[in-house]
Structure 1
Amino acid sequence: MTARENGDDDGRAMGQELSLRVILFHEAVAAHLGLNATEHKVLSLIAREPGISPGQLVDRTGLSNPAITKIVHRLAELGHVDRRRDGSDGRRYALHVAEGHRRDLARLFAPMAEAMNGLVDGMDDVERAAVTRWLTGTIEILRRSTAELTRERESAAGRE
């Protein structure tokens, strides 16, 4: 018998609560930086992949070229992102997070990172393995679900 058949929706409820708290935390960080949530997440992608191009951001996010152009322009204008010309193709440019932004993020995330480290340090190996399995599975489910929703939206847009 599955957890759902037993009427146990704890996993679903915890997933929903985790999602809500992650979104609200990132909304607060974004607001602190003068950004909206989408701009903040695009900035996170740039931080994870220094040198990423705007075209790659379009691919990673599913946002349109004009939307990415607008976001990148705003991030650069606010001093969060540096645009550097591509050495092999002067028409293209690579995006990098500005050093000042890295310092701001480190300061904003430090209290949470310290608390999370304390939480993990208080777990034994079996608990860590269970949490890792749940989070890894959740991330993969979210990745697949996002891809499916994106495909459905693009398919519906193509029929219009």
Structure 2
Amino acid sequence: MHDNATLIRLLRQLTVETDRFAELFGEAHRMHRTDLNALTLIMDAKAQGRPLSPTGLARALHLSASATTSVLDRLESSGHIRRVRSATDRRKVELVVADQALELGRAFFVPLGLALTEAWTGFDDEQRATITRFLQASVEATAAVRATLVEPDQEHSPADRV
């Protein structure tokens, strides 16, 4: 049986490995880590069926408006995203991932997805449900503690130095 210290160590190791993997993608495509995080958040929002605005992205990344604009300008000029007017409220801007970015991401990340799928074949549906609950709880706990470390109205963060 694994204790909490072992689980924390393994989560930390997984975080380091996934960070290294994402950094390789960023280096290959000359993208800063903040840009990769922004692109991921925009794709996740789409997958969840909710549009993401520049303001929502700034909140999620804890960036100032000017830093967020810089990130979006880089992503847009490289062809990875588009800023479009909302179909339901023309005053709002929504962020959309370009097909080019999806293709680049698939080419790089599909092999990892296949390897993970293979690694998980030994887990049945009940075990996967438990793992899913464990990971969701871990993400929520991490986000909750992170929120206590950052002032909600703080204008600048270390990530603003992009």
TM band (smaller chain): 0.7 to 0.9
Q: 1:43 to 1:152 in 2, by over 3 A?
A: closer
Calculate the TM-score normalised by the size of structure 2: 0.80
Aligned residue number for residue 96 of structure 1: 96
The SS at the match of 1:154 is: coil
Pick from 2, 15, 22 the counterpart of residue 19 of structure 1. 15
Which deviations, in whole Å up to 9, do the C-alpha atoms of 1:85-109 show, x marking residues without a partner?
Answer: 345445x532111111111111111
Partner of 2:79: 79
- More displaced stretch, 99-108 vs 50-59: 50-59
CA distance in 2 between partners of 1:31 and 1:113 (Å): 20
1:147 Cα deviation from its structure 2 partner = 1.2
Specify the alignment match of 1:110 in structure 2. Answer: 110
Larger mean CA deviation between 142-151 and 60-69 belongs to 142-151
The alpha carbon displacement at 1:71 in A equals 0.3
Q: Cα RMSD between the aligned structures?
A: 2.4
How big is the shift at 1:124?
Answer: 2.7
Q: Which residue of structure 1 aligns with residue 6 of structure 2? A: 10
1:61 aligns with 2:61: yes
Q: Give the residue type in structure 1 aligned to 2:42.
A: I
- Distance in 1 (CA, whole Å) between partners of 2:13 and 2:26 is 20
Provide the residue aligned with 1:38 in structure 2: 34
Whole-angstrom CA distance in 2 between matches of 1:80 and 1:152: 29
1:52: how far off? Answer: 1.9
The 3-state SS of whatever aligns with 2:145 is helix
- Over residues 45-81 of structure 1, what are the superposed CA-to-partner deviations in whole Å (9 max), with x where a residue is unaligned? 1122244221111122211100000000010011111
Aligned counterparts of 2:133 and 2:94: Cα–Cα separation in 1: 35
Task: Tell me which amino acid in the other structure corresponds to 1:109.
Answer: F
Q: What's the CA shift for 1:126?
A: 4.7
* Structure 2 unmatched runs, 5+: 158-162
Larger-Rg structure: 1
In terms of mean alpha carbon deviation, does 96-105 or 122-131 score higher?
122-131
Task: Tell which has more relative contact order, 1 or 2 (C-alpha 8 A, sep 6+).
Answer: 2
State how far apart, in whole Å, the 1-side matches of 2:93 and 2:152 are.
31
Alignment of 1:70 with 2:70, yes or no, is yes
Residue in structure 2 matched with residue 154 of structure 1 by the alignment: 154
Identify the residue that residue 144 of structure 1 maps to in structure 2: 144
CA distance in 2, matches of 1:58, 1:153: 12
> Which blocks of at least 5 consecutive residues in structure 1 are unaligned?
none
